[in-house]
Structure 1
Amino acid sequence: MHKIETMYKKDPTPERTVPLVEQAFTRLRQDVLSGTYGAGMKLKLDELQTAYGFSSSPLREALSRLAQEGLIRSDERRGFRVADISAEDLADISRMRVMLDVPALRESIANGDDAWEALVVGAYHRLEKIESRIGDGPVVLDDDWTQVHSAFHAALLAACPSERMRNWSASLFDQAERYRRYSARFRKTARRKSNEHRKIMDATLRRDAQTACALLEEHILSTQRNVMAVLGSAAEKAGRS
Protein backbone atom coordinates (compact mmCIF):
# COMPACT_ATOMS: atom_id res chain seq x y z
CA MET A 1 0.00 0.00 0.00
CA HIS A 2 1.05 3.59 -0.61
CA LYS A 3 2.55 5.01 2.59
CA ILE A 4 1.85 8.58 3.64
CA GLU A 5 3.51 8.61 7.05
CA THR A 6 5.84 11.35 5.83
CA MET A 7 2.88 13.73 5.88
CA TYR A 8 2.99 13.59 9.68
CA LYS A 9 6.75 14.04 10.14
CA LYS A 10 8.29 17.40 10.81
CA ASP A 11 11.22 18.50 8.70
CA PRO A 12 14.30 18.02 10.89
CA THR A 13 16.27 20.64 8.97
CA PRO A 14 16.30 24.23 10.25
CA GLU A 15 13.69 26.56 8.81
CA ARG A 16 15.04 28.17 5.68
CA THR A 17 14.24 31.54 4.20
CA VAL A 18 11.65 31.22 1.44
CA PRO A 19 13.13 32.40 -1.88
CA LEU A 20 11.81 35.71 -3.17
CA VAL A 21 10.41 34.05 -6.30
CA GLU A 22 8.38 31.67 -4.15
CA GLN A 23 7.16 34.52 -1.94
CA ALA A 24 6.11 36.56 -4.97
CA PHE A 25 4.42 33.55 -6.58
CA THR A 26 2.49 32.63 -3.43
CA ARG A 27 1.21 36.15 -2.75
CA LEU A 28 0.32 36.95 -6.33
CA ARG A 29 -1.34 33.58 -6.83
CA GLN A 30 -3.48 34.04 -3.74
CA ASP A 31 -4.62 37.47 -4.90
CA VAL A 32 -5.55 36.13 -8.34
CA LEU A 33 -7.51 33.23 -6.82
CA SER A 34 -9.31 35.46 -4.32
CA GLY A 35 -10.39 37.94 -6.99
CA THR A 36 -8.24 40.84 -5.81
CA TYR A 37 -7.27 41.08 -9.46
CA GLY A 38 -10.38 40.64 -11.55
CA ALA A 39 -10.73 38.60 -14.72
CA GLY A 40 -9.03 40.26 -17.68
CA MET A 41 -7.20 42.80 -15.50
CA LYS A 42 -3.79 43.83 -16.77
CA LEU A 43 -0.96 43.10 -14.34
CA LYS A 44 1.55 45.92 -14.73
CA LEU A 45 5.01 45.13 -13.46
CA ASP A 46 5.68 48.57 -11.97
CA GLU A 47 2.38 48.50 -10.06
CA LEU A 48 3.10 45.00 -8.77
CA GLN A 49 6.54 46.12 -7.59
CA THR A 50 4.92 48.92 -5.60
CA ALA A 51 2.19 46.66 -4.20
CA TYR A 52 4.41 43.75 -3.12
CA GLY A 53 7.84 45.30 -2.65
CA PHE A 54 9.61 42.79 -4.92
CA SER A 55 11.95 43.62 -7.77
CA SER A 56 10.98 42.86 -11.35
CA SER A 57 12.93 39.57 -11.57
CA PRO A 58 10.99 37.48 -9.00
CA LEU A 59 7.73 39.02 -10.16
CA ARG A 60 8.39 38.08 -13.79
CA GLU A 61 9.18 34.53 -12.75
CA ALA A 62 6.02 34.38 -10.62
CA LEU A 63 3.92 35.68 -13.52
CA SER A 64 5.43 33.09 -15.86
CA ARG A 65 4.57 30.28 -13.43
CA LEU A 66 1.01 31.56 -13.07
CA ALA A 67 0.72 31.65 -16.85
CA GLN A 68 1.80 27.99 -16.98
CA GLU A 69 -1.01 27.18 -14.51
CA GLY A 70 -3.54 28.99 -16.67
CA LEU A 71 -4.44 31.57 -14.02
CA ILE A 72 -3.08 34.43 -16.11
CA ARG A 73 -2.43 34.94 -19.82
CA SER A 74 0.83 36.11 -21.34
CA ASP A 75 1.17 38.12 -24.53
CA GLU A 76 4.46 39.53 -25.80
CA ARG A 77 2.82 42.77 -26.87
CA ARG A 78 0.18 43.19 -24.17
CA GLY A 79 2.03 41.74 -21.18
CA PHE A 80 0.25 39.75 -18.49
CA ARG A 81 -3.47 39.69 -17.79
CA VAL A 82 -5.62 37.69 -15.40
CA ALA A 83 -7.35 34.87 -17.28
CA ASP A 84 -10.90 35.62 -18.35
CA ILE A 85 -13.91 34.02 -16.71
CA SER A 86 -15.92 32.02 -19.24
CA ALA A 87 -18.29 29.09 -19.40
CA GLU A 88 -16.04 27.40 -21.96
CA ASP A 89 -13.00 27.61 -19.70
CA LEU A 90 -14.90 26.29 -16.70
CA ALA A 91 -16.25 23.40 -18.75
CA ASP A 92 -12.72 22.51 -19.80
CA ILE A 93 -11.43 22.69 -16.21
CA SER A 94 -14.28 20.49 -15.00
CA ARG A 95 -13.75 17.96 -17.79
CA MET A 96 -10.07 17.70 -16.95
CA ARG A 97 -10.82 17.34 -13.23
CA VAL A 98 -13.13 14.43 -13.92
CA MET A 99 -10.54 12.81 -16.16
CA LEU A 100 -7.83 13.19 -13.52
CA ASP A 101 -9.46 13.15 -10.06
CA VAL A 102 -11.73 10.16 -10.56
CA PRO A 103 -8.97 7.67 -11.46
CA ALA A 104 -6.70 9.27 -8.83
CA LEU A 105 -9.34 8.59 -6.17
CA ARG A 106 -9.70 5.03 -7.39
CA GLU A 107 -5.95 4.51 -7.00
CA SER A 108 -5.95 6.24 -3.63
CA ILE A 109 -8.63 3.88 -2.33
CA ALA A 110 -6.67 0.90 -3.59
CA ASN A 111 -3.42 2.01 -1.98
CA GLY A 112 -4.44 3.95 1.13
CA ASP A 113 -3.53 2.70 4.61
CA ASP A 114 -4.85 3.48 8.10
CA ALA A 115 -2.90 6.73 8.29
CA TRP A 116 -4.51 7.84 5.04
CA GLU A 117 -7.98 7.05 6.39
CA ALA A 118 -7.22 9.15 9.48
CA LEU A 119 -6.07 12.00 7.23
CA VAL A 120 -9.36 11.91 5.28
CA VAL A 121 -11.49 11.82 8.45
CA GLY A 122 -9.56 14.69 10.02
CA ALA A 123 -9.81 16.81 6.88
CA TYR A 124 -13.56 16.21 6.68
CA HIS A 125 -14.02 17.09 10.36
CA ARG A 126 -12.31 20.45 9.87
CA LEU A 127 -14.41 21.17 6.77
CA GLU A 128 -17.65 20.26 8.51
CA LYS A 129 -16.80 22.48 11.49
CA ILE A 130 -16.06 25.54 9.40
CA GLU A 131 -19.15 25.03 7.21
CA SER A 132 -21.33 24.83 10.33
CA ARG A 133 -20.20 28.36 11.19
CA ILE A 134 -21.19 29.85 7.84
CA GLY A 135 -24.38 31.80 8.42
CA ASP A 136 -27.17 32.66 6.02
CA GLY A 137 -27.10 35.78 3.92
CA PRO A 138 -24.65 37.09 1.30
CA VAL A 139 -21.38 35.24 1.51
CA VAL A 140 -18.06 35.14 -0.26
CA LEU A 141 -16.16 31.97 0.57
CA ASP A 142 -13.21 33.08 2.67
CA ASP A 143 -9.61 31.92 2.87
CA ASP A 144 -10.23 29.60 5.83
CA TRP A 145 -13.00 27.73 4.00
CA THR A 146 -10.91 27.55 0.86
CA GLN A 147 -7.97 26.08 2.74
CA VAL A 148 -9.90 23.32 4.51
CA HIS A 149 -11.96 22.53 1.40
CA SER A 150 -8.80 22.14 -0.64
CA ALA A 151 -7.24 20.03 2.13
CA PHE A 152 -10.20 17.63 2.13
CA HIS A 153 -10.01 17.02 -1.61
CA ALA A 154 -6.23 16.64 -1.42
CA ALA A 155 -6.62 14.13 1.42
CA LEU A 156 -8.94 11.97 -0.70
CA LEU A 157 -6.22 11.65 -3.34
CA ALA A 158 -3.23 11.60 -0.97
CA ALA A 159 -2.67 7.86 -1.31
CA CYS A 160 -2.57 7.94 -5.11
CA PRO A 161 0.96 6.80 -5.99
CA SER A 162 1.34 9.30 -8.84
CA GLU A 163 2.78 12.61 -7.64
CA ARG A 164 2.05 14.15 -11.03
CA MET A 165 -1.62 13.25 -10.79
CA ARG A 166 -1.82 14.78 -7.31
CA ASN A 167 -0.05 17.96 -8.40
CA TRP A 168 -2.09 18.41 -11.55
CA SER A 169 -5.25 17.78 -9.56
CA ALA A 170 -4.29 20.48 -7.08
CA SER A 171 -3.63 22.95 -9.89
CA LEU A 172 -7.00 22.27 -11.54
CA PHE A 173 -8.73 22.50 -8.16
CA ASP A 174 -7.30 25.99 -7.68
CA GLN A 175 -8.39 27.06 -11.16
CA ALA A 176 -11.91 25.89 -10.32
CA GLU A 177 -11.67 27.69 -6.98
CA ARG A 178 -11.39 31.03 -8.78
CA TYR A 179 -14.76 30.31 -10.38
CA ARG A 180 -16.30 29.25 -7.07
CA ARG A 181 -15.21 32.50 -5.46
CA TYR A 182 -16.50 34.50 -8.39
CA SER A 183 -19.92 32.86 -8.25
CA ALA A 184 -20.11 33.20 -4.45
CA ARG A 185 -20.27 36.97 -4.81
CA PHE A 186 -23.59 36.66 -6.63
CA ARG A 187 -25.25 34.17 -4.29
CA LYS A 188 -27.65 35.40 -1.63
CA THR A 189 -27.13 32.45 0.70
CA ALA A 190 -24.29 30.16 1.57
CA ARG A 191 -24.16 26.80 -0.17
CA ARG A 192 -23.28 24.06 2.28
CA LYS A 193 -21.95 20.89 0.69
CA SER A 194 -21.10 18.95 3.86
CA ASN A 195 -23.57 16.22 2.95
CA GLU A 196 -21.92 15.69 -0.44
CA HIS A 197 -18.48 15.60 1.15
CA ARG A 198 -19.69 13.19 3.85
CA LYS A 199 -21.08 10.75 1.27
CA ILE A 200 -17.82 10.83 -0.68
CA MET A 201 -15.85 10.23 2.51
CA ASP A 202 -18.08 7.38 3.69
CA ALA A 203 -17.85 5.55 0.37
CA THR A 204 -14.11 6.13 0.28
CA LEU A 205 -13.58 4.69 3.77
CA ARG A 206 -15.75 1.68 2.87
CA ARG A 207 -13.33 1.18 -0.03
CA ASP A 208 -16.35 1.32 -2.34
CA ALA A 209 -14.42 2.79 -5.26
CA GLN A 210 -17.31 2.66 -7.72
CA THR A 211 -19.64 4.69 -5.49
CA ALA A 212 -16.95 7.07 -4.28
CA CYS A 213 -15.78 7.85 -7.80
CA ALA A 214 -19.34 8.37 -9.06
CA LEU A 215 -20.05 10.74 -6.16
CA LEU A 216 -16.84 12.70 -6.76
CA GLU A 217 -17.62 13.08 -10.46
CA GLU A 218 -21.13 14.34 -9.67
CA HIS A 219 -19.67 16.68 -7.05
CA ILE A 220 -17.36 18.24 -9.64
CA LEU A 221 -20.10 18.50 -12.26
CA SER A 222 -22.65 19.95 -9.83
CA THR A 223 -20.18 22.70 -8.98
CA GLN A 224 -19.81 23.38 -12.68
CA ARG A 225 -23.60 23.58 -13.15
CA ASN A 226 -24.02 25.94 -10.21
CA VAL A 227 -21.30 28.28 -11.39
CA MET A 228 -22.62 28.11 -14.96
CA ALA A 229 -26.02 29.26 -13.69
CA VAL A 230 -24.38 32.27 -12.05
CA LEU A 231 -22.40 33.09 -15.20
CA GLY A 232 -25.56 32.87 -17.28
CA SER A 233 -27.46 35.12 -14.89
CA ALA A 234 -24.65 37.67 -14.84
CA ALA A 235 -24.48 37.69 -18.65
CA GLU A 236 -28.25 38.16 -18.87
CA LYS A 237 -28.17 41.13 -16.50
CA ALA A 238 -25.28 42.68 -18.41
CA GLY A 239 -27.27 42.31 -21.64
CA ARG A 240 -30.25 44.18 -20.14
CA SER A 241 -28.14 47.04 -18.83
Structure 2
Amino acid sequence: MSTVDSDMVRNPSAERGDKAPPLSEQAFRILRHQILRGEIAPGEKLRIEVLQKEYSFSSSPLREALNRLVAEGLVTADDHRGFRAAAMSQSDLQDITNFRLVAEPAAFAQSIAAGTDEWEGRVVAAHHQLERIEEKIAREEAHWNEEWTLRHKGFHMALVSAAGSVRLIATCSSLFDQAERYRRFSARNRIKPRNTQDEHRRLMEAAIGRQAELAVALLKEHLTLTTRNVIDLQRGDG
Protein backbone atom coordinates (compact mmCIF):
# COMPACT_ATOMS: atom_id res chain seq x y z
CA MET A 1 0.00 0.00 0.00
CA SER A 2 1.26 3.46 -0.81
CA THR A 3 1.88 6.03 1.92
CA VAL A 4 -1.09 8.10 0.77
CA ASP A 5 -3.44 5.12 0.80
CA SER A 6 -2.12 4.04 4.19
CA ASP A 7 -2.75 7.48 5.67
CA MET A 8 -6.29 7.54 4.28
CA VAL A 9 -7.10 4.19 5.87
CA ARG A 10 -5.44 5.10 9.16
CA ASN A 11 -7.47 8.26 9.62
CA PRO A 12 -10.08 8.93 6.92
CA SER A 13 -11.44 11.92 8.83
CA ALA A 14 -8.07 13.61 9.35
CA GLU A 15 -8.95 16.44 6.97
CA ARG A 16 -11.88 17.34 9.23
CA GLY A 17 -9.55 17.68 12.19
CA ASP A 18 -11.12 14.77 14.07
CA LYS A 19 -9.11 12.89 16.68
CA ALA A 20 -7.13 10.00 15.22
CA PRO A 21 -8.48 6.54 16.10
CA PRO A 22 -6.52 4.23 18.45
CA LEU A 23 -3.47 2.50 16.98
CA SER A 24 -5.20 -0.88 17.07
CA GLU A 25 -8.07 0.56 15.01
CA GLN A 26 -5.62 2.07 12.52
CA ALA A 27 -3.81 -1.26 12.17
CA PHE A 28 -7.13 -3.07 11.77
CA ARG A 29 -8.26 -0.73 8.99
CA ILE A 30 -4.99 -1.00 7.07
CA LEU A 31 -4.73 -4.78 7.22
CA ARG A 32 -8.41 -5.29 6.49
CA HIS A 33 -8.23 -2.94 3.51
CA GLN A 34 -5.21 -4.73 2.06
CA ILE A 35 -6.73 -8.18 2.52
CA LEU A 36 -9.98 -7.16 0.84
CA ARG A 37 -8.08 -5.57 -2.06
CA GLY A 38 -5.94 -8.67 -2.48
CA GLU A 39 -2.74 -6.74 -1.70
CA ILE A 40 -2.18 -9.29 1.05
CA ALA A 41 -2.50 -12.60 -0.76
CA PRO A 42 -4.79 -15.38 0.49
CA GLY A 43 -2.82 -17.66 2.79
CA GLU A 44 0.02 -15.14 3.19
CA LYS A 45 1.88 -15.32 6.49
CA LEU A 46 1.33 -12.25 8.68
CA ARG A 47 4.43 -12.03 10.87
CA ILE A 48 4.19 -9.52 13.69
CA GLU A 49 7.83 -8.47 13.37
CA VAL A 50 7.44 -7.81 9.64
CA LEU A 51 4.23 -5.84 10.13
CA GLN A 52 5.91 -3.77 12.85
CA LYS A 53 8.61 -2.65 10.43
CA GLU A 54 6.20 -2.05 7.55
CA TYR A 55 3.60 -0.01 9.43
CA SER A 56 5.53 1.30 12.46
CA PHE A 57 3.08 -0.19 14.96
CA SER A 58 4.11 -2.01 18.12
CA SER A 59 3.15 -5.65 18.57
CA SER A 60 0.20 -4.98 20.90
CA PRO A 61 -2.08 -3.03 18.49
CA LEU A 62 -1.11 -5.39 15.67
CA ARG A 63 -2.13 -8.45 17.67
CA GLU A 64 -5.39 -6.80 18.64
CA ALA A 65 -6.08 -5.93 15.00
CA LEU A 66 -5.24 -9.43 13.80
CA ASN A 67 -7.50 -11.02 16.41
CA ARG A 68 -10.36 -8.79 15.24
CA LEU A 69 -9.70 -9.93 11.68
CA VAL A 70 -9.78 -13.55 12.87
CA ALA A 71 -13.25 -12.87 14.29
CA GLU A 72 -14.30 -11.47 10.89
CA GLY A 73 -13.02 -14.54 9.07
CA LEU A 74 -10.40 -12.62 7.09
CA VAL A 75 -7.42 -13.99 9.04
CA THR A 76 -6.72 -17.40 10.55
CA ALA A 77 -4.70 -18.06 13.70
CA ASP A 78 -2.77 -21.11 14.83
CA ASP A 79 -0.85 -21.52 18.08
CA HIS A 80 2.17 -22.86 16.23
CA ARG A 81 1.96 -21.17 12.83
CA GLY A 82 0.80 -17.69 13.84
CA PHE A 83 -1.46 -15.52 11.70
CA ARG A 84 -2.26 -15.87 8.00
CA ALA A 85 -4.63 -14.14 5.62
CA ALA A 86 -7.58 -16.49 5.19
CA ALA A 87 -7.31 -18.76 2.18
CA MET A 88 -9.80 -18.50 -0.68
CA SER A 89 -11.56 -21.66 -1.76
CA GLN A 90 -14.73 -22.82 -3.42
CA SER A 91 -15.95 -24.35 -0.16
CA ASP A 92 -15.32 -21.11 1.74
CA LEU A 93 -17.19 -19.05 -0.84
CA GLN A 94 -20.09 -21.49 -0.80
CA ASP A 95 -20.20 -21.32 2.99
CA ILE A 96 -20.25 -17.50 2.93
CA THR A 97 -22.93 -17.52 0.24
CA ASN A 98 -25.10 -20.00 2.14
CA PHE A 99 -25.07 -17.76 5.21
CA ARG A 100 -25.73 -14.66 3.12
CA LEU A 101 -28.72 -16.39 1.53
CA VAL A 102 -30.17 -16.79 5.02
CA ALA A 103 -29.28 -13.44 6.56
CA GLU A 104 -29.68 -10.87 3.78
CA PRO A 105 -33.04 -11.97 2.34
CA ALA A 106 -34.44 -12.15 5.88
CA ALA A 107 -33.18 -8.65 6.68
CA PHE A 108 -34.41 -7.36 3.31
CA ALA A 109 -37.89 -8.80 3.82
CA GLN A 110 -38.06 -7.31 7.32
CA SER A 111 -36.99 -3.94 5.95
CA ILE A 112 -39.67 -4.00 3.26
CA ALA A 113 -42.30 -4.86 5.87
CA ALA A 114 -41.20 -2.32 8.48
CA GLY A 115 -39.38 0.34 6.48
CA THR A 116 -40.67 3.89 6.58
CA ASP A 117 -40.55 6.57 3.90
CA GLU A 118 -37.16 7.47 5.35
CA TRP A 119 -35.93 3.94 4.60
CA GLU A 120 -37.21 4.22 1.03
CA GLY A 121 -35.30 7.48 0.74
CA ARG A 122 -32.08 5.81 1.90
CA VAL A 123 -32.50 3.03 -0.66
CA VAL A 124 -33.19 5.45 -3.52
CA ALA A 125 -30.31 7.73 -2.49
CA ALA A 126 -27.84 4.85 -2.18
CA HIS A 127 -28.89 3.50 -5.58
CA HIS A 128 -28.54 6.95 -7.13
CA GLN A 129 -25.01 7.32 -5.73
CA LEU A 130 -24.07 3.92 -7.13
CA GLU A 131 -25.51 4.77 -10.54
CA ARG A 132 -23.74 8.12 -10.63
CA ILE A 133 -20.29 6.64 -10.17
CA GLU A 134 -21.04 3.95 -12.74
CA GLU A 135 -21.76 6.73 -15.23
CA LYS A 136 -18.29 8.17 -14.60
CA ILE A 137 -16.27 4.96 -14.63
CA ALA A 138 -15.85 2.49 -17.46
CA ARG A 139 -17.84 -0.68 -16.82
CA GLU A 140 -14.73 -2.87 -16.82
CA GLU A 141 -13.09 -0.65 -14.16
CA ALA A 142 -16.02 0.01 -11.84
CA HIS A 143 -16.04 -3.26 -9.97
CA TRP A 144 -12.60 -2.77 -8.43
CA ASN A 145 -12.75 1.01 -8.06
CA GLU A 146 -12.62 1.85 -4.35
CA GLU A 147 -15.39 4.46 -4.43
CA TRP A 148 -17.64 2.08 -6.38
CA THR A 149 -16.92 -0.61 -3.79
CA LEU A 150 -17.97 1.69 -0.94
CA ARG A 151 -21.15 2.76 -2.72
CA HIS A 152 -21.95 -0.82 -3.68
CA LYS A 153 -21.84 -1.88 -0.05
CA GLY A 154 -23.77 1.24 0.91
CA PHE A 155 -26.59 0.23 -1.41
CA HIS A 156 -26.76 -3.32 -0.09
CA MET A 157 -26.73 -2.12 3.50
CA ALA A 158 -29.45 0.43 2.75
CA LEU A 159 -31.68 -2.41 1.54
CA VAL A 160 -31.47 -4.15 4.94
CA SER A 161 -31.18 -1.06 7.14
CA ALA A 162 -34.77 -1.19 8.44
CA ALA A 163 -34.55 -4.80 9.59
CA GLY A 164 -34.81 -3.78 13.23
CA SER A 165 -32.06 -6.12 14.43
CA VAL A 166 -28.61 -4.68 15.05
CA ARG A 167 -27.08 -8.17 15.10
CA LEU A 168 -28.72 -9.21 11.84
CA ILE A 169 -27.58 -6.05 10.08
CA ALA A 170 -24.05 -6.49 11.48
CA THR A 171 -24.04 -10.08 10.24
CA CYS A 172 -25.04 -8.92 6.76
CA SER A 173 -22.23 -6.36 6.81
CA SER A 174 -19.61 -8.87 7.93
CA LEU A 175 -20.64 -11.48 5.36
CA PHE A 176 -20.63 -8.84 2.63
CA ASP A 177 -17.02 -8.01 3.49
CA GLN A 178 -15.98 -11.66 3.61
CA ALA A 179 -17.39 -12.11 0.11
CA GLU A 180 -15.61 -9.03 -1.25
CA ARG A 181 -12.40 -10.81 -2.25
CA TYR A 182 -14.42 -13.30 -4.27
CA ARG A 183 -16.47 -10.54 -5.90
CA ARG A 184 -13.29 -8.82 -7.04
CA PHE A 185 -11.88 -12.08 -8.39
CA SER A 186 -15.13 -12.72 -10.25
CA ALA A 187 -15.26 -9.20 -11.71
CA ARG A 188 -11.64 -9.26 -12.88
CA ASN A 189 -11.90 -12.64 -14.56
CA ARG A 190 -15.48 -12.64 -15.81
CA ILE A 191 -15.96 -13.64 -19.42
CA LYS A 192 -19.72 -14.06 -19.49
CA PRO A 193 -21.42 -10.63 -19.48
CA ARG A 194 -23.37 -9.53 -16.44
CA ASN A 195 -25.51 -6.42 -16.09
CA THR A 196 -25.15 -5.59 -12.41
CA GLN A 197 -26.56 -2.11 -13.00
CA ASP A 198 -29.86 -3.65 -14.06
CA GLU A 199 -29.75 -6.07 -11.12
CA HIS A 200 -29.34 -3.20 -8.66
CA ARG A 201 -32.06 -1.12 -10.32
CA ARG A 202 -34.53 -4.00 -10.13
CA LEU A 203 -33.68 -4.54 -6.46
CA MET A 204 -34.31 -0.87 -5.73
CA GLU A 205 -37.63 -0.86 -7.61
CA ALA A 206 -38.86 -4.01 -5.89
CA ALA A 207 -37.87 -2.56 -2.50
CA ILE A 208 -39.70 0.75 -2.81
CA GLY A 209 -42.60 -1.02 -4.52
CA ARG A 210 -42.89 -3.20 -1.40
CA GLN A 211 -42.80 -6.34 -3.54
CA ALA A 212 -41.25 -8.53 -0.87
CA GLU A 213 -41.47 -11.88 -2.66
CA LEU A 214 -39.96 -10.51 -5.88
CA ALA A 215 -37.32 -8.53 -3.99
CA VAL A 216 -36.13 -11.56 -2.03
CA ALA A 217 -35.99 -13.69 -5.20
CA LEU A 218 -33.96 -11.00 -7.00
CA LEU A 219 -31.56 -10.67 -4.08
CA LYS A 220 -30.97 -14.41 -3.86
CA GLU A 221 -30.22 -14.58 -7.58
CA HIS A 222 -27.93 -11.54 -7.30
CA LEU A 223 -25.95 -13.15 -4.49
CA THR A 224 -25.56 -16.53 -6.16
CA LEU A 225 -24.37 -15.21 -9.53
CA THR A 226 -20.92 -14.31 -8.18
CA THR A 227 -20.57 -17.74 -6.61
CA ARG A 228 -21.54 -19.43 -9.87
CA ASN A 229 -19.06 -17.32 -11.81
CA VAL A 230 -16.15 -18.12 -9.47
CA ILE A 231 -16.95 -21.84 -9.59
CA ASP A 232 -17.18 -21.70 -13.40
CA LEU A 233 -13.83 -19.93 -13.58
CA GLN A 234 -12.20 -22.58 -11.41
CA ARG A 235 -13.62 -25.26 -13.67
CA GLY A 236 -12.48 -23.41 -16.77
CA ASP A 237 -16.04 -22.66 -17.89
CA GLY A 238 -15.85 -18.87 -17.30
Q: Would you call these one fold, judging by a TM-score over 0.5?
A: yes
- Quick one: which of 204, 212, 226 aligns to 1:201? 204
Q: Percent identity?
A: 46
Deviations along 1:136-155, one digit per CA (max 9) or x if unpaired, are 55776121111000000000
Higher relative CO (Cα under 8 Å, sequence separation at least 6) belongs to 1
Residues 1:88 and 2:91 aligned together: yes
TM-score (norm 2): 0.87
Partner of 1:128: 131
Q: TM-score, normalised by structure 1?
A: 0.86
Aligned to 1:39: 42
Distance in 1, matches of 2:114 and 2:19, equals 33
Paired letter, 2:117: D
| Pairwise CA RMSD | 2.1
Match of 1:7 in 2: none
Distance 2:21 2:62 in 1: 15
Which structure 2 residue ranges, 5 or more long, are not aligned?
A: 1-16
Q: Does the 8 A contact of 1:45 with 1:59 survive in 2? A: yes
In the alignment, the residues of structure 2 paired with residue 108 and residue 194 of structure 1 have an alpha-carbon distance, to the nearest angstrom, of 22
The 2-side partners of 1:154 and 1:147 are apart by: 11
The superposition leaves residues 158-207 of structure 1 with CA deviations (integer Å, 9 ceiling, x where unpaired) of 11100000001100001111111123333469854010011111011011
Q: Are 2:54 and 1:51 equivalent residues in the alignment?
A: yes
Query: Which residue is equivalent to 1:64?
Result: 67
Give the equivalent residue in structure 2 for 1:170: 173
Question: SS where residue 54 of structure 1 aligns?
Answer: coil
1:77 aligns with 2:93: no
Letter of the structure 2 residue corresponding to residue 126 of structure 1:
Q
- The runs of at least 4 aligned residues of structure 1 exceeding 3 Å deviation read 14-17, 136-140, 187-192
Q: Distance in 2 between matches of 1:184 and 1:193?
A: 11
The aligned counterpart of 2:3 is: none
Distance in 2 between residues matched to 1:138 and 1:103, nearest whole Å: 31
Q: Deviations over 1:6-54 (max 9, x none)?
A: xxxxxxxx94431111111111101100000011111111111122221
Structure 1 pair 136–97 and aligned structure 2 pair: CA distance change class (3 A): closer
Structure 1 alignment gaps of length 5 or more: 1-13, 237-241
Q: Which amino acid aligns with 1:170?
A: S
- Letter in structure 1 aligned against 2:26: Q
Structure 2 equivalent of residue 21 of structure 1: 24
* AA partner of residue 221 (structure 2): E
Deviation at 1:130, TM superposition (A): 1.7
